[in-house]
Amino acid sequence: MKAKFVIPFLLSGLVGFSSCDSDSDSNGTAKMEVRMTDAPGDYDEVNIDIRSVQIHKEVTDSEEGWQTLDQIHPGVYNLLDFANGRDTLLASANLPAGTISQIRLVLGDNNSLKLKDGNTVALKTPSGQTSGVKLQINAELKEDVTYVVLLDFDAAKSIVARGNGQYNLKPVVRTITQAIAGGIKGKVTPADAKPGIYVISAANDTIGGFANDEGNFLIKGVKAGTYSVKFYTENNLQDTTLVNISVSQDQIKDLGTIALPKK
């Protein structure tokens, strides 16, 4: 059995304005979300107590370099609840752009295994894992791009029978990192128009926001695809729509300067 921890920001049927920022507001960050999913296995339950998810930017084991993902949902998760494509959010954060060397899963003590005969036994973690399960990533995060880190949890190898009716939890996990959403940026003139902006997919899924006082805008979390970008105002300027704007999952598409014509 393999369980999977998934780290994605997804854009699906979203209409809103929270994903738009100006260039001047950008702090050189990338977005990351941690989700967990699983595949069917040979147990009734595999319960994992997840307390924290952390990342490390330096290629060292220094404790000073670890950063906790701030939006965490700690708890005991039955991996088998998330089979057949289902998943659940564990943690997310805006992280500084740059290289992440490691990720660490901090586990609690409430790990257990429910066997096929209905008996539930504790899953003991070795003393060497008291600081957490450290995994190598070595992923480069680009500014303003959205990422998923897939932690492929091999439960068949991670659950070790001790021969006396007891079981150890020794997580065996491989990591896969990929960008899953880019963005669109640019500048509109005149800047004082402060137009609203819609990014519209072929399926009419829409996200958007407003340009700032300097006319700059940045729409994040845009999945790979082709979009129309509409600029609209309530003054004497014409609404303007750009079509066939192509975005890749690891790219912030720069539209340059867009001049809004008068009515």
pLDDT tens string 205-248: 899 888 999 999 999 889 999 999 999 887 778 889 999 999 99
Q: Please tell me whether residues 163 and 131 are part of one structural domain.
A: yes
Q: Does the residue 217 lie in any domain?
A: yes
Q: Which residues contact 234 (CB under 8 A, 6 or more apart)?
A: none
Q: Please tell me whether residues 172 and 190 are part of one structural domain.
A: no
Indicate the residue among 154, 180, 206 that finishes a domain: 180
pLDDT of 13-59, one tens digit each?
A: 333 443 454 443 445 888 887 777 665 567 888 899 999 999 888 76
pTM metric for this prediction:
0.73
Domain count, the chain: 2
Q: What angle do CA 39, 45, 46 make, to 5 degrees?
A: 70
Q: Does the residue 72 lie in any domain?
A: yes
What would the DSSP string read from start to end of 14-62?
---STTEE-GGG--SEEEEEEEEEE---SSSEEEEEEEEEEEE-SSS--
Q: Does the residue 90 lie in any domain?
A: yes
pLDDT of 79-125, one tens digit each?
A: 878 766 677 788 889 988 888 889 898 999 899 999 888 999 999 88
In 3D space, the residue among 256, 241, 207 whose CA is nearest the CA of residue 21 turns out to be: 207
Q: Does the residue 13 lie in any domain?
A: no
The range of the structural domain enclosing residue 223 comes to 181-259
Q: Return the CATH number at 197.
A: 2.60.40.1120
Q: Please tell me whether residues 44 and 150 are part of one structural domain.
A: yes
Q: Please tell me whether residues 122 and 252 are part of one structural domain.
A: no
